[in-house]
Structure formats: C-alpha cells, structure tokens
Amino acid sequence: MSSPVIPREQSHSDYRLRPGDGLVIGLLMASTFLVLLNEMLLGVALPTLISDLGITPSAGQWLTTGYLLTLAVLIPATGFVMRRFHLRTIFLTALSVFIVGTAIAAVAPTFGVLLAGRIVQAIGTAVFVPLLMTTSIRLIPESRRGRIMALVTAVPALAPAVGPAVSGLVLTFLPWRGLFILVLPLAVIALIAGALKLKNITTPEKATLDLLSLVLSAIGFGGLVLGLSVIGESASGHAPLPPLVPIIVGVVGVAAFVFRQLALRRRDAALLDMGIFRSKTFSVAILVMLFVAMNGFGVALVLPLVLTGALGLSTLAIGFFLFPGGLIIAGVSWLGGRVYDRWGPVPLVIPGSVIWAASIWFLSTLTGASGAGAYLAGYLVMTAGQAMIWGPVTTLALSSLRSDLYPHGSAAFTTVQQLAGAAGGAVLVSAYTIGAGVADAGQLSVAETVAAGQGAFTTGFTIALAGIVGTLFVWWRRRADAKEPSRVEAPAR
C-alpha cells in the first residue's frame, strides 16, 4: 500500500517552529545554562571555602558530591514528572526551589547550612536538562533538529567551560557568597519571564509514582555516584569510606531498579521505561555518550591541577584559559547542526571522535616546558572534537524514540551523563594520583605534576579509543518526510 500524500501546507509548516516555540526553547536554554553554571562555580572556590569555614578538603568536597548525589537520585524520576505535570508548572516549581536553595547558600553562616542550600539547589536543578531536551525534541521539526538541537545540547557542555572563568573573576573581587548573590537575581528574572511568557505544550497523563522504584533509584544511582566520587580520594588515602562498599550497593540497587521497571512496564507504570533500550540506535548513542562524558568531566577536573602545578597559573588565569572552550563548543555545535540536517551524524561523530582522541593523546605528551600555548591548543581541539560528537549523538538518540518515550529517553540520557561524569572524574583523578608516584598528591613538584597529568591524560586517551569504536556503530536514516525546506514549494495563495 502506498504512503498517504502529505498536504503541501502541512509539509511546509513542518520546517518552521510554531509561533512562541522559539521563546519556550530559548527560555529553557537560558535557565538550564544558569543552573548548570551554578553547579560548576564551587570547584574553583573550594580553597577559599576551606579557609573561611574552617573545614577539611574532604568535607568541602561534599559541596560537590552531595550535589551530584541529589541529582543522581532525582533525575531518573524526571520522566514521571514530565508526564504527570504541565511544562509551566514544572518550570516554575523547579526554578523556585532552586532560588530558595541559592538564597540559603548565599546567607549560610556555617558549612552545614551551605551544604543544605546546595542540596536544595540540586533538587531544583535535576529536572532542567531532561525538560529542555524533551521539550525541544517535541517542538523542533525533523528537518531542523540538527542545527537547533546542536545549540540545545551545547548548553550542558558550555557550563563546565564558562563556570571556572566566572568563578575566578567573581572571587578576585568578592567573597565566595558573591557566587550565589550573582546567580540569585538572574534566577528571579528567569522565574518572572517564565511566569509571564511560558506556555503549556503537553497534556499531563495519569501517571503514578512507584515509591519502591524511587527508593531503588536512590540506593542504586546514589550508591554508584558516591562510590565513584570517593575513588579519587581513596587513591590518596583521604577517602571518608571505602569506595567499593557504595559501588557494590549501587550496582545491586540499579539491577533491582531495572528489574522493577521491567515488571512495571507491563502495566505502563514504569518510573523509567526500559523500552527505550529496544532501539539499537538509542543504545549505541547512549554508550558513546558514556565515554564522551567520562572524559568531558574528567579532563575538566584534572587540567586545572596540571595548569596550577606545572605552569603556575592562578585561579583567575585558569578560568580565562578554559573560557575559549565554550566559544569553540558553541561555534562547532552551530556548524555541526547544519551538517547533521543535511548528511546526518556519521560525518560528524567518526571524525570528531578521532580528533577528540588525538587531542587527549597530545595532552598526555606535554611537559612543564611545553608552555601554556601547547596546553591551550590541545584543550581547544579536544573541545571541538567533543562538540562534534555530543550534540549529534544526543539528537540521534532522542530522534530514534517514539514521542511518548521522549521523557524516559532524556531522563536516561541525563542520568548516564551524571554517572559518567562521576566515573570519569574518579578514574582520571585516581590516574593523576597514581601517576604522581607519591602518597600525598596535594603537594607536588613540577615534575611530579607533569607525570601525574600524563598518567591521567593517557587514561583519558584509552577511554577515547573506546568512544571511537562506539561511533563506528552509529547509523542514521533520514525519514521520508524530512526534506530540505528549499525543496518544498510554498502553497498557492
């Protein structure tokens, strides 16, 4: 039987965003960037916090670890949230919670109150990336998904590059509270804009929250992130607990969570529908993203340590060193989106993975005598290669699913990114510590720092090789109704 003919009016409209859709996507992008920027601000501020609050480095690390743990627990449930509630309700509630957490952190008199504020922030943050991805993939026409989704998916990659620069600049002139005071009015402006302009684009479903699934999610994903996060500290002998214990608990919890979802799927009541993995395209894409996110977060942790110990750069200098990476990501993502719309992801992800791996290998060969220019060149090429993979793989993954699985797919994708980030940070920091060849990796000579960095980047290169293999299995076929707009005649008037 032949396919039904699509009216030209409908086909032509498929190439343009409907009135107001661009505003929705733009508002979600700006808000998501803000909350992710906040996630990256405290890394540079940790020495200042240790001094001002009189805490140990291990305790200070919980400002990041606790944040990641909260995200790991809540993100798997965002699929349910997006099915059950209106877009506007989710956005306003989540941003309000984030604002409350930011206000608590800004006035925190003690470390405990600051940690509580960070956790409240994370509760509000958890839904933003899945919400942005799900909403965008629903609104963007098939023929323009490459170029628009490239910008959408660049947001999570931009924050790690811009965050240290913003943090270093603020801390040069203001105390650490200035980091939160800076974010607070911006978040309030976004909340007001959302209340005035944001519209609902979906109809809530009758979804029920399975409490056992939520508990298993907390045990499984929380245990994995906790265990992975303390591996680096364990390698230097400063871990608050043996990492193997929470990792084993996490693996068992995730396995139980998966089996629970398979059972609930028969009643259409799964918290996270495992049916998304029946798509081979989605499964390959999420596997590639696992390796990309491991190096993306891991290199972002190790590179500042090398720049400080081997080159003697200050906090502010490191921030400005990393800042051009954000510009590279934005530019490459925009160009890559146009390539995606015309030829698909394959011409991007395979060359991109080779460039990405080669640049990390190049970083592993540098020494203190190489100079900042060589490190900067390697870093910028790495970010370009990463951008050639990140956006196309994310767009491909979600596009391979039915529309009713978008919330589950985006939740799974974001969860994997968080787990991979924790794993990449743990693995590369451990390789850094082992490469130093000393018991205390906090006080290293230039030679020891160079050896530590080379060990970490060599490990990253090995991870990147696995990513190259994954990209060889990426496959894409354009839908029959997704043609170039220029090839569709405007309807007669």
The full DSSP string for 396-432 is HHHHTS-GGGHHHHHHHHHHHHHHHHHHHHHHHHHHH
Residue 37 placed within a domain: yes
Higher-scoring residue by pLDDT: 44, 270 = 270
Residue 371 placed within a domain: yes
User: pLDDT band at residue 425, thresholds of 50, 70 and 90?
Assistant: confident
pLDDT at 112 over 80: yes
pLDDT for residue 7: 36
Q: What is the phi/psi pair of residue 251, to 5°? A: -60, -45
Average pLDDT for 338-366:
92
pLDDT at 490 over 60: no
pLDDT for residue 4: 36
d(CA 424, CA 390): 16
pLDDT for residue 478: 55
Top-confidence range, 250-254, 315-319, 449-453: 250-254
Residue 276 placed within a domain: yes
Residue 488 placed within a domain: no
pLDDT for residue 439: 55
The residue to which tokens 């209340």 are assigned: 195
What the block records as the tokens of 377 is: 């060149």
- Percent of the chain at pLDDT > 90 equals 27
Query: Where is average pLDDT lowest: 414-418, 455-459, 479-483?
Result: 479-483
On whether the CB atoms of residues 223 and 229 are closer than 8 A, the answer is no
pLDDT for residue 448: 84
pLDDT for residue 6: 32
pLDDT for residue 420: 86
Residue 1 placed within a domain: no
Q: What is the phi/psi pair of residue 141, to 5°? A: -60, 150
Query: Where is average pLDDT lowest: 76-85, 86-95, 285-294?
Result: 76-85
User: pLDDT band at residue 291, thresholds of 50, 70 and 90?
Assistant: very high
Range of 131's domain? 19-479
d(CA 414, CA 286): 10
Q: Which of 418, 463, 432 is nearest to 64 (CA)?
A: 418
pLDDT for residue 239: 56
What the block records as the tokens of 291 is: 């390796």
Top-confidence range, 182-196, 206-220, 444-458: 182-196
Number of helices (H) and strands (E), helices first, in the chain?
19, 0
What the block records as the tokens of 171 is: 């801390």
What the block records as the tokens of 259 is: 């089996």
Q: Which of 377, 332, 333, 336 is nearest to 359 (CA)?
A: 377
pLDDT for residue 168: 79
pLDDT at 410 over 50: yes
d(CA 273, CA 408): 6
Q: What is the phi/psi pair of residue 389, to 5°? A: -100, -45
How many structural domains comprise the chain? 1
Average pLDDT for 159-181:
82
For 357-408, how does the pLDDT look when each residue is reduced to its tens digit (9 = 90+)?
Answer: 999 999 999 988 888 889 999 999 999 999 999 889 988 888 888 888 888 8
Query: Where is average pLDDT lowest: 187-196, 256-265, 479-488?
Result: 479-488
Phi/psi-derived region of residue 311, left when phi > 0, alpha when psi is between -120 and 50, beta in every other case = alpha
pLDDT for residue 238: 56
pLDDT at 284 over 90: yes
pLDDT for residue 338: 85
Residue 411 placed within a domain: yes
Residue 8 placed within a domain: no
Average pLDDT for 303-332:
83
Higher-scoring residue by pLDDT: 28, 322 = 28
What the block records as the tokens of 339 is: 């390539």
Higher-scoring residue by pLDDT: 243, 130 = 130
Query: Where is average pLDDT lowest: 225-229, 413-417, 486-490?
Result: 486-490
Top-confidence range, 27-31, 323-327, 426-430: 27-31
Q: Which of 472, 454, 136 is nearest to 287 (CA)?
A: 472
Average pLDDT for 434-440:
68
Helices (H), 54-202: 57-60, 62-74, 78-84, 87-106, 111-125, 128-139, 145-173, 177-197
What the block records as the tokens of 354 is: 């080779």
d(CA 244, CA 233): 13
Cα-Cα end-to-end distance for the chain = 32
Residue 338 placed within a domain: yes
Query: Where is average pLDDT lowest: 24-38, 150-164, 186-200, 474-488?
Result: 474-488
pLDDT for residue 358: 96
Q: Which long-range contacts does 444-448 make (Cβ < 8 Å, 24+ apart)?
A: 444/309, 446/309, 446/310, 446/368, 447/368, 448/309
Query: Where is average pLDDT lowest: 133-137, 377-381, 443-447?
Result: 443-447
d(CA 27, CA 22): 9
Top-confidence range, 114-118, 130-134, 262-266, 301-305: 114-118
CA pseudo-torsion sign 31, 36, 39, 41: negative
Q: How many Cα atoms occupy the beta-carbon half-sphere of 48 within 13 Å?
A: 18
User: pLDDT band at residue 426, thresholds of 50, 70 and 90?
Assistant: confident
Average pLDDT for 64-69:
78
Query: Helix (H, G, I), strand (E, B), or coil: what is residue 156?
Result: helix
CATH number, domain at 338?
1.20.1250.20
CA of residue 35 relative to chain centroid, distance:
11
pLDDT at 286 over 70: yes
